Structure 1
């Protein structure tokens, strides 16, 4: 793990490395955007719907049989945040085009994601 008391835009340099434990041999993340699994998450306007954590731990006594742990974390607020971002974008586009909404009228943004359950 890298600890940087003065972080900047370059996440690959600076700070110092801290060993979490010799038994941890890998830690990987994947992100589900509602349609597909991605190895990296670059979108700064939305959050992933699901994050997959995969951790490999070696047993000092049995180096040939590492233990793999994989967990899926569903972010229930992802849909709310993504829908709010979508609605804000639509509102901005409507106001720039001169579109108006009658008082008291509400619009419901389309559901984000495919509705399918992510499969790791």
Structure 2
């Protein structure tokens, strides 16, 4: 057996289906809450609008990787989502977007706790 055949036979760690569906649901809720910030992001200029697009893109990638059950990609996308969303929230922080930002942060926190609980159960 050659080396590539050996690596193909090693099982890849996957998210349990209940965790992946909950992460996917929270990521979609995050995207919905993010829409409350969209107008403010667009009025603040192209840089902030780009931040919004990147944040929305990583939330969609997170939902997709969770749907596939891919732990590695899910963890990568959640860390990039955190980075881009915090920058966006700082740039768009205003009384008008406060509730949308709080709701989006709540969904992001839910995703973290789901993945942390899953990581503990895999050990």
**Superposition TM-score, scaled by structure 1 size:** 0.30
**Superposition TM-score, scaled by structure 2 size:** 0.29
Which protein has the bigger helix share?
Answer: 2
Which protein has the bigger strand share?
Answer: 1
